[in-house]
């Protein structure tokens, strides 16, 4: 456990990506089995210890210290694992520290009360860093700046294997991944996934700058719409059916209305949408379906899922990725005509004859649940990652409005002591006169220096506190950029923004000159 806690501690304070990769690679090489497999699962977000939830950890903390003191400490620190790790009063014990590789098995099938007794005994054997690492491991929220993809890249760096090769067998394996490490070390063959519905890394597009358009040999490219949903992969093999997000997360359980109709044998690439009566619903409707482990019959009826297909990677057992886009497109159309999978269709190709025609298409796509255009070379093979040149995405320009900061909350991980999450509002006429109503929340778009100044402003302008949230004076204007805005019954304002982020902080602008809610409503698709 000590080696793992040191790894997490160093990852937390290592800002450079290259250093994080080196730290993890060194750990994977030198840590023993099954410790390194459990660490890999935790870093990749693939470890689920169901018997120890945050509520249990909070309860243990309040049993050891005064609940009022615990509440104030948690409010100040802003992170449950860090709070308990720092405030935990140690008791003398002769018990041994927990072994990382054995923790999941020891917690498996325990009732919460039993898990609490075991966890309490472990916390007494560890120092503050060890307690923090243990609690992060158990809750699953490491927040040390490592994504699942980065962890797999580090594993590949450690053993000289590409992360894409690891990705292609990842979903057929379970922690602690001993067959995976045996293959990486050359002591066993590559795990055979030929008959499994595993994830294949997606090919991604590079952003297209306007000055690049004139330089492209447009005769070599096809254009298609960039639909406003989420990119997914449908994998069906030997009766096993799975739906994956673009990052390789298995989201099958949230979309049974898609998976139930995957009676084909192959791997397809497409966009997940909500479609009613042939019309694509706003992205906000799709959000109702995302990040759910279970979905109700009512949700399935009100928000029916649909896949708009872009590409085909496998037709049965035949790997088509080495074919050019034009050939794959023909194979996709033939596949769809043959299989006719329900709740799917094929994204149309968009004809154009000049750069001006493309610009007109892009300018006219707002309001049709389309984010912009995709340009794909006709001869481009399907390559994992984001190769420069074969595919481009040309998104429509962002929308902007001036809003007023209403609330601020501390972030997580390195930002746990800094106010970095901001709720902002727009003006409308209320019963008592002009009032602000929240229209969005953002935690990106500012520099580190701007964040320091924002944090100080929040502390100097707080008028009320609600746990970790501070209400501030209605005096700071921020220009917010966003992709689109939709009706929403979940928000007091009646609207919801898509991907809001800070565009500019208007320290100079009076709050009364910020935009009204009507300005946002006019932008609704």
Q: DSSP characters for 175-226?
A: TT-HHHHHHHTTSSPPP--TTS----PPB-PEEPPHHHHTTS-GGGEEEEEE
Query: What percent of the chain clears pLDDT 90, i.e. is strictly above it?
Result: 64
Band of pLDDT at residue 413, cut at 50, 70 and 90: low
- Tokens standing for 17? 């990506």
Domain 206-395 has CATH 3.30.470.30: yes
2-139 and 206-395, same CATH topology: no
Question: What pLDDT, on a 0 to 100 scale, did the predictor assign at position 260?
Answer: 93
pTM of the model: 0.80
Helix axes 54-64, 80-87, angle to 10 degrees: 30
Beta bridge partners of 425: 404, 438
Average pLDDT of span 205-221: 85
Residue 396 has pLDDT above 90, yes or no: no
Place of tokens 């673009």: 246
Question: In DSSP terms, which residues pair with 393 in a beta bridge?
Answer: 207, 374
How large is the average pLDDT for residues 484-490?
82
- pLDDT category at 264 given cuts 50, 70, 90 is very high
Crossing angle of helices 148-159/17-30, nearest 10°? Answer: 60
Task: Determine the pLDDT at residue 101.
Answer: 95
- One of 3.40.50.720, 3.40.50.300, 1.20.120.1770, 2.40.50.140 is the CATH number of 399-521, namely 2.40.50.140
For residue 315, the model assigns a pLDDT of 97
Q: In this predicted model, what pLDDT tens digit does every residue of 21-30 receive, in sequence order?
A: 999 999 999 9
Residue 416 has pLDDT above 70, yes or no: no
pLDDT digits (tens, 9 = 90+) for 28-79: 999 999 999 999 999 999 988 877 788 899 999 999 999 999 988 887 777 8
According to CATH, the superfamily of the domain at 2-139 is DNA ligase, ATP-dependent, N-terminal domain (1.10.3260.10)
Alpha helix (H) residue ranges in 218-343 = 256-259, 283-287, 297-302, 325-339
pLDDT for residue 20? 95
Q: What is the DSSP letter of 435?
A: E
Where is pLDDT greater, at 176 or 395?
A: 176
Decide if 273 contacts 229 (C-beta within 8 A).
Answer: yes
At a CB cut-off of 8 Å and minimum separation 6, what does 183 contact?
Answer: 189, 190, 191
Q: Give, in degrees to the nearest 5, the angle at Cα 107 between 105 and 113.
A: 160
Q: What does each C-alpha distance from 489 to 253, 287, 295, 385, 486 come to in angstroms? A: 25, 13, 19, 38, 10
Going by pLDDT thresholds of 50, 70 and 90, the confidence category of residue 508 is confident
User: Cα–Cα distance between 525 and 514 in angstroms, integer?
Assistant: 22
Q: Nearest 5 degrees, angle CA 88-CA 94-CA 96?
A: 80
pLDDT digits (tens, 9 = 90+) for 312-347: 999 999 999 999 999 999 999 999 999 999 999 999
What is the pLDDT averaged over residues 361-378?
A: 86
User: CB of 176 within 8 A of CB of 101?
Assistant: yes
Residues in the chain: 525
Please report the DSSP string for 469-490 in residue order.
EEEE-TT-EEEEEESEEEE-TT
Per-residue model confidence (pLDDT) at position 411:
80
Smallest Cα–Cα separation from 119: which of 78, 88, 79? 88
Q: Per-domain residue ranges for the chain?
A: 2-139, 206-395, 399-521
The whole-number average pLDDT for the span 177-185 is: 97
Q: Residue by residue, what is the 3-state secondary structure of 347-389?
A: CCECCCCCHHHHHHHHHCCCCCCEEEEEEEECCCCCCCECCCC
Q: Residue 487: pLDDT above 90?
A: no
CA distance 136 to 83: 11
């Amino acid at each position: 456990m000590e080696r793992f806690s040191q790894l997490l501690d160093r990852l937390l304070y290592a800002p450079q990506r290259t250093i994080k990769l080196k730290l993890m690679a060194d750990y994977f090489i030198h840590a023993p089995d099954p410790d390194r497999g459990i660490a890999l699962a935790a870093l990749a977000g693939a470890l689920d210890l169901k018997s120890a939830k945050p509520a249990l950890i909070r309860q243990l903390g309040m049993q050891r210290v005064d609940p009022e003191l615990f509440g104030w400490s948690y409010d100040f620190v802003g992170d449950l694992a860090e709070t308990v790790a720092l405030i935990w009063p140690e008791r003398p014990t002769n018990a041994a520290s927990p072994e990382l590789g054995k923790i999941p098995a020891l917690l498996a099938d325990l009732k919460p009360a039993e898990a609490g007794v075991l966890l309490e005994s472990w916390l007494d054997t560890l120092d503050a860093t060890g307690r923090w690492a243990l609690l992060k491991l158990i809750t699953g929220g490491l927040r040390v700046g490592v994504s699942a993809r980065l962890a797999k890249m580090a594993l590949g760096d450690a053993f000289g294997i590409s992360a894409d090769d690891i990705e292609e067998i990842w979903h057929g394996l379970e922690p602690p991944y001993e067959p995976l490490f045996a293959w990486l070390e050359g002591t066993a063959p590559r795990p055979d996934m030929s008959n499994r519905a595993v994830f294949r890394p997606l090919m991604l597009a590079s952003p297209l700058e306007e000055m690049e358009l004139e330089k492209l040999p447009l005769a070599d490219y096809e254009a298609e719409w960039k639909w406003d949903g989420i990119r997914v992969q449908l994998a069906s093999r030997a009766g096993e059916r799975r739906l994956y997000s673009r990052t390789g997360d298995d989201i099958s359980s949230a979309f049974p209305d898609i998976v139930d109709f995957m009676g084909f044998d192959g791997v397809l690439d497409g966009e997940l949408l909500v479609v009613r009566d042939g019309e694509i619903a706003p992205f906000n409707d799709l959000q109702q379906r995302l990040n759910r482990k279970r979905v109700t019959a009512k949700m399935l009826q009100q928000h029916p899922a649909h896949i708009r297909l872009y590409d085909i990677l496998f037709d049965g057992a035949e790997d088509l990725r080495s074919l050019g886009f034009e050939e794959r497109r023909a194979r996709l159309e033939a596949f769809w005509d043959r299989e006719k999978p329900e709740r799917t269709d094929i994204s149309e190709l968009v004809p154009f004859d000049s750069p001006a025609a493309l610009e007109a298409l892009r300018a006219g796509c707002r309001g049709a649940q389309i984010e912009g255009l995709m340009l794909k070379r006709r001869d481009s093979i399907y390559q994992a990652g984001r190769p420069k040149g074969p595919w481009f995405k040309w998104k429509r320009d962002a929308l902007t409005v001036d809003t007023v900061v209403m609330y601020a909350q501390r972030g997580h991980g390195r930002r746990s002591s800094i106010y970095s999450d901001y709720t902002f509002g727009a003006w409308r006429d209320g019963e008592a006169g002009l009032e602000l109503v929240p229209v969005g929340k953002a935690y990106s778009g500012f520099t580190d220096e701007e964040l320091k100044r924002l944090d100080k402003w929040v502390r100097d302008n707080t008028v009320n506190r609600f746990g970790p949230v501070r209400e501030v004076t209605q005096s700071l204007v921020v220009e917010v950029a966003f992709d689109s805005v939709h009706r929403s019954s979940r928000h007091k304002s009646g609207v919801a923004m898509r991907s809001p982020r800070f565009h500019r902080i208007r320290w100079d602008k009076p709050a009364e000159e910020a935009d009204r809610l009507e300005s946002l409503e006019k932008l609704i698709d």
